[in-house]
Amino acid sequence: METNNGLSGEDRRRILKLRCSVKNYDWGRIGTDSAVARLYERNNAAELVDGMPYAEFWMGTHDSGPSYVLAPDGKLVENGTLANSGFHKAGLSLKEWIEQNPRSVLGDKVFAKWGPNLPFLFKVLSVAKALSIQAHPDKELAARLHKVQPDSYKDANHKPEMALALTEFEALCGFISLEELKDVVHNVPEIVEVVSRTGVDKLLAIGEQDGEDKAKEVLQLIFTQLMSARKEVIEQVLLRLISRLTAKREAMELTDKEKLILRLEKQYPSDIGVLAAFLLNHVKLSPGEALYLGANEPHAYIYGECIECMATSDNVVRAGLTPKERDVQTLCSMLTYKQGLPEILQGVALNPYVVRYLPPFDEFEVDSCVLPEDASVAFPAISGPSIFLVMAGEGTICSASNEELVEEGDVVFTSADTEVTLATTSGMDIYRAGVSSRFLCRND
């Protein structure tokens, strides 16, 4: 049975401000150089810590970084009353809010598929140095890993995701093409030192008559041998590689990939991930471009700031460029080994102010809204929930039930079937995450 927890039914259609969580991973940007830090400081009225990296700003219901509901006077809601303390954990989480009235908050279709859970997790990332080479498991593997290693794999969900560039943004994403891989074994002798001669010969022997499955089989063999190499072997090979590239740089211009290899080695000396980067696509996004990643695809964000959205999960299988726990065997066995460049999304304009990014996943989509001075735009009522983030500027967000003044760092939640209007006199940049409109409109 749904309950109100001391809050009226009309409150369920209110625009709710949220207080959100931050992650201080060591790859994050430091202090006010970080968009994450600036958002967190304003959202929480918090003081930043000198020298602290601010890596991720989380908006959603995941237990590892929950958001909390603010009452109209700006205080946290606690068990139907207002909390006197500004301390997060005293308050009512967004997850608890949804669980009290899940069908009316999430909408019938979302509730029917995902139960009393917000199906997406919304983030901002500020990346100063490379994240780990990683992949996210599909649902079947995630459930198995969570059951066997719950301390390492925190939930049983899959984690398709999308990164929308706020600045120039770099990533490693997916495996290079077969022809590029052949070039690597010709031009990077250090790779050949680590993997077996048999694997290299099989790769070079692949012709047009051989199918995609054969290419995947050989790629898996080479990648697994590389990632499984002994640490002392990798240390010696990387010493020779860096020495060779440093000498080459004195005589000629390095390729973009070679320049990247030198950067990564400075960040993660003696790490196998430096060598593995030769096998992955180096992708550069301009602001407003997005890439998406399905389950079991290798990737590593390298530098820049982005909006990120994903299914509500924190499952990561790591194998390189990280001091954290690695699971090389699982990563190498789970990958799809598809080759070629990932699709880059440019977004589709819904009106003069709103561009939508719609990856092929049911759990989420992201809208970018840029309002100039003295402009307004309506977001029609939809049959699923939304989270809005004010990235810059100030203005108002209103529904039929209430109106809120908002500014940079404010995050608001809207329930299903809530029409929202944004307005500004000075200009405002807002991002919205919601359940995929394709899913909401499907008749199944």
Q: In this predicted model, what pLDDT tens digit does every residue of 319-373 receive, in sequence order? A: 899 888 889 999 999 999 999 999 999 999 999 999 999 999 999 999 999 999 9
Count CA atoms closer than 13 A to 68's CA, side-chain side: 23
In whole angstroms, what is the distance from residue 368 CA to residue 286 CA? 15
Are 335 and 296 in contact, with CB atoms under 8 Å apart? yes
Q: H-type helices in 178-327, by residue range? A: 178-187, 189-194, 197-205, 212-227, 231-251, 256-267, 272-276
- The DSSP secondary-structure symbol of 147 reads H
Asked if 204 and 215 count as a contact pair (C-beta separation under 8 A), the reply is no
Q: Is 48 exposed, middle or buried (0-12, 13-18, 19+ CB in 10 A)?
A: middle
Residues in the chain predicted with pLDDT less than 70, given as ranges, are: 1-13, 72-75, 77-90, 444
Closest by CA to 152, choosing from 20, 1, 325, 33, is 325
Q: Which tens digit of pLDDT belongs to each residue from 319-332?
A: 899 888 889 999 99
Q: Contacts from 200-209 at CB under 8 Å and sequence distance 24+?
A: 206/178
**106 with 61: CB under 8 angstroms?**
no
Provide the phi-psi class of 125: left if phi over 0, else alpha when psi is between -120 and 50, else beta: beta
Question: Which tens digit of pLDDT belongs to each residue from 223-246?
Answer: 999 999 999 999 999 999 999 999
H and E: helices and strands count for the chain = 14, 26
Q: What is the pLDDT of residue 282?
A: 97
Residue with tokens 């063999």: 221
| pLDDT confidence of residue 74 | 66
Please say if 326 is a catalytic residue. Answer: no
DSSP letter assigned to residue 339 = B
Cβ atoms of 159 and 121 closer than 8 Å: no
pTM above 0.85, yes or no: yes
Q: Of 318, 326, 356, 432, which one is the catalytic site residue? A: 318
- The span from the CA of 170 to the CA of 285, in Å, is 6
SS3 92: coil
Residues with Cβ < 8 Å from 72, sequence gap 6 or more?
A: 14, 402
Tell me the C-alpha distance between 215 and 209, whole Å: 11
Name 164's bridge partners.
Answer: 290, 307
